Amino acid sequence: MQTHSTLKRRTGSFIVAGTKKPSLVARKQSIPDRVRSGRSSIVPYRSGESFKARHFRRLAANLQHEAKLRQWCQQNGLALRITNEGHHWQVTEGRFVAEWWPSSAKLVINKRWREGIHCHDYKQAIETIQKAYRAQQPNGTE
C-alpha cells in the first residue's frame, strides 16, 4: 500500500482540507530535452539571469524574427502558425508537425515528446526542422 508521501511524490497530490484522503490531481511534469542545438548567437546565455527573465528575452528576440521564419516556411512549402501570444509556434505540412516554444526553447517533432530538442533561437529551430522534414521525405530531400 502506498503511503501519502509516496503518493504525493508520484502524482503531486495533496490532502484535501477537512479530509484525510489525498486528492489525485496530477502535477504536470516537464519532459527533459534529449538533444541541444548548442549556444545561441541571437539569445546568448547570461550567467545569474533568472529563468523568467531568460524566457522573456528568448521570446522577445524570436518574435522579432518571426518574418524570417515565416518566409523560410513559405519557400519550403510549410505552414507557420503562432498561438498563445507567441509562446507556441507550429510548422506543419501534411503529417509533419514541428512544435516550438521559444521561451522555454523546447522543440518537438511529430509529437515525440521524449525526443525534445533544445533550440534557443529561430535559426537553430529552422536548421533542426529542415533536417527532420527532409529526413521524413520519401527520397530524403524536399
Collect all residues with Cβ–Cβ distance below 8 Å to 83 and sequence separation of at least 6.
90
Contact in structure between 92 and 6 (CB atoms under 8 Å)? no
Do the Cβ atoms of 29 and 15 come closer than 8 Å?
Answer: no
Mean pLDDT of 61-71: 96
Task: Please tell me the distance from the alpha carbon of residue 1 to that of residue 72, in angstroms, as a whole number.
Answer: 55
**What are the cell numbers at 141?**
530531400
Q: What pLDDT digit, counting tens, does each position of 14-62 carry? A: 444 555 665 566 656 677 767 777 889 899 999 999 999 999 999 999 9
Predicted local distance difference test score (pLDDT) of residue 137: 83
Question: Can you tell me the distance from the alpha carbon of 32 to that of 37, in angstroms, rounded to the nearest whole number?
Answer: 14
What is the predicted pLDDT for the residue at 104?
Answer: 93
Residue 6, H or E segment: helix 4-11
Long-range contacts for 136-142 (Cβ within 8 Å, ≥24 apart)? 136/96, 136/110, 142/76, 142/77
- Structural domain spans, the chain: 1-30, 31-136
Q: Is the pLDDT of residue 12 over 60?
A: no
Residue 6 has a pLDDT of 40
Please determine, for residue 8, whether its predicted confidence score (pLDDT) is greater than 60: no
Q: What is the pTM of this model?
A: 0.74
For 103-126, the pLDDT digits (tens) are 999 999 999 999 999 999 999 999
For the chain, what is the radius of gyration of the CA atoms? 19
Cα–Cα distance for residue pair 60/43, rounded to 1 Å: 10
Q: Which of 17-26, 67-76, 84-93 has the lowest mean pLDDT?
A: 17-26
Q: How much is the pLDDT for 128?
A: 96
> What dihedral do alpha carbons 62, 37, 127, 125 form, nearest 10°?
-30
3-state secondary structure of 37: coil
